[in-house]
Chains A and B, each alone.
Chain A
Amino acid sequence: MENIGSFIDMIFVTAKAWILALLGQFLPVWIVVLASIVISGVAILCLGPVIMMYLTLLERKVIGRIQNRYGPNRVGIWGLLQPIADGIKMFTKEDIVPANADKLIHLLAPIMTVVPALMIFVVVPFGRQMTAADLNIGFLYFIAVSSITILPIFMASWSSRNKYSLLGGMRTAAQLISYEVPMTLAAVPAIMMSQSLSTNTIVLTQAGSFGLNWFIFTPWGIVGFIVFFLCATAECNRPPFDLPEAESELVAGFHTEYSGMKFALFYMAEYMNAFTLCGIAATLFLGGWQGPFLPSWVWFFGKTLALICIMIWFRGTFPRFRVDHLMAFAWKFLLPLTLVNILLTALWQFTSASAAWLFSIMILAAMLYMLVKLNRVFVPEKRNYVLAD
Chain B
Amino acid sequence: MIFGAGVFKGMMVTLKNFLTSYYRDRDNGGIFTVQYPEEREKLAENYRNLPFLVYDGAPDQIRCVACGICERECPPKCIHIEMATDAAGKPARKPAVFDIDYSLCMNCGICEEVCPFDSIYMDHTFEITSQAGPRSLIRGKEALARSNDYFRKIRPAMAAAVDQKRKTAEDKKKAAATPPPPQEIK
Contact = CB atoms under 8 A, between A and B. Distances in A.
A70 B14 contact: no
A314 B7 CA distance: 10
B105 to A, nearest CB: 31
Q: Is the interface of B mostly helix, strand, loop or mixed?
A: helix
Contacts of A314: 11
Contact of B18 (A65, A70, A318, A368): A65
B7, B13, B18, B33: most-surrounded residue (chain A CB, <10 A): B18
A31 B21 CA distance: 55
B21 A65 contact: yes
Given A68-B21, A368-B3, A313 B30 contact: no
B15 interface: yes
A66 interface: yes
Nearest to A315: B14
A70 B21 CA distance: 9
A364 to B, nearest CB: 12
Interface string B19-60: 001100000011111010000000000000000000000000
Contact of B17 (A66, A70, A368): A66
A314 B35 CA distance: 27
B10 interface: yes
B31 A313 contact: no
Interface of A: 62, 65-70, 313-314, 316-318, 368, 372
B3 A67 contact: no
A62 B31 contact: no
B13 A69 contact: no
A316 B21 CA distance: 14
A65 B31 CA distance: 8
Q: Is the interface of A mostly helix, strand, loop or mixed?
A: helix
Contacts, number: 40
Contacts of A313: 11, 14-15, 18
Given A66-B21, A69-B32, A317-B13, 8 more contacts: A65-B18, A65-B22, A68-B33, A69-B21, A69-B33, A70-B33, A313-B11, A314-B11
A67 B10 contact: no
Nearest to B13: A317
A67 B11 CA distance: 13
B31 A317 contact: no
B116 to A, nearest CB: 47
Nearest to A372: B3
Nearest to A69: B33
Contacts of A66: 14, 17-18, 21
B6 to A, nearest CB: 10
A64 to B, nearest CB: 8
14 contacts: A65-B17, A65-B18, A66-B14, A66-B17, A66-B18, A66-B21, A68-B21, A68-B30, A69-B21, A69-B32, A70-B35, A314-B11, A316-B14, A317-B10
A62 B18 CA distance: 7
Interface string B98-125: 0000000000000000000000000000
A70 B31 contact: yes
Nearest to B10: A317
A62 to B, nearest CB: 7
A317 B14 CA distance: 6
B33 A318 contact: no
A338 to B, nearest CB: 17
Contacts of B22: 65
Given A62-B18, A317-B13, A318-B10, A69 B3 contact: no
Interface string B47-81: 00000000000000000000000000000000000
A333 to B, nearest CB: 10
B161 to A, nearest CB: 39
Contacts of B10: 317-318
A68 B32 contact: yes
A45 to B, nearest CB: 33
A68 B17 contact: yes
Contacts of B30: 68
Contact of B31 (A68, A318, A372): A68
Contacts of B35: 70
A69 to B, nearest CB: 5
Contacts of B31: 65, 68-70
Contact of B29 (A68, A69, A317, A318): A68
Nearest to A318: B10
A317 B11 contact: yes
